[in-house]
């Protein structure tokens, strides 16, 4: 199964023209993805995700 990855106007990664991911540290805010549908913050140095915040370490489990 393959997915298309591109660079969006807001955020760091756009997956399948549907999901926007912004990657940063634990103090990263929603500023860059505010107002974007299906957008998520991927944060380093957090252990538990809340709402649209996903811990960076979880991406390692997906691979």
Predicted pLDDT of residue 62 = 64
Mean pLDDT of the chain: 90
Number of domains in the chain: 1
Residues 44, 25 contacting (CB under 8 angstroms)? yes
Strands lying side by side in the sheet with 39-43? 5-6, 13-15, 19-24, 39-43, 53-55
Q: How far, CA to CA in Å, does 58 sit from each of 36, 45, 61? A: 22, 11, 5
Q: What is the DSSP letter of 24?
A: E
The range of the structural domain enclosing residue 35 comes to 5-62
Predicted pLDDT of residue 53 = 93
Q: Which residues of the chain have pLDDT under 50?
A: none
Pairing of strands 5-6, 13-15: antiparallel
The model's pLDDT over 19-33, given as tens digits with 9 standing for 90+, comes to 999 999 989 988 889
3-state secondary structure of 51: coil
């Amino acid at each position: 199964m393959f997915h298309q990855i591109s660079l969006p106007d807001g955020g760091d990664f756009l997956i399948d023209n549907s999901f926007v991911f912004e990657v940063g540290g634990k103090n990263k805010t929603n500023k860059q993805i505010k107002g974007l549908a299906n957008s998520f913050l991927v944060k380093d140095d957090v252990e538990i995700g809340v709402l649209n915040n996903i811990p960076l370490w979880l991406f390692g489990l997906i691979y």
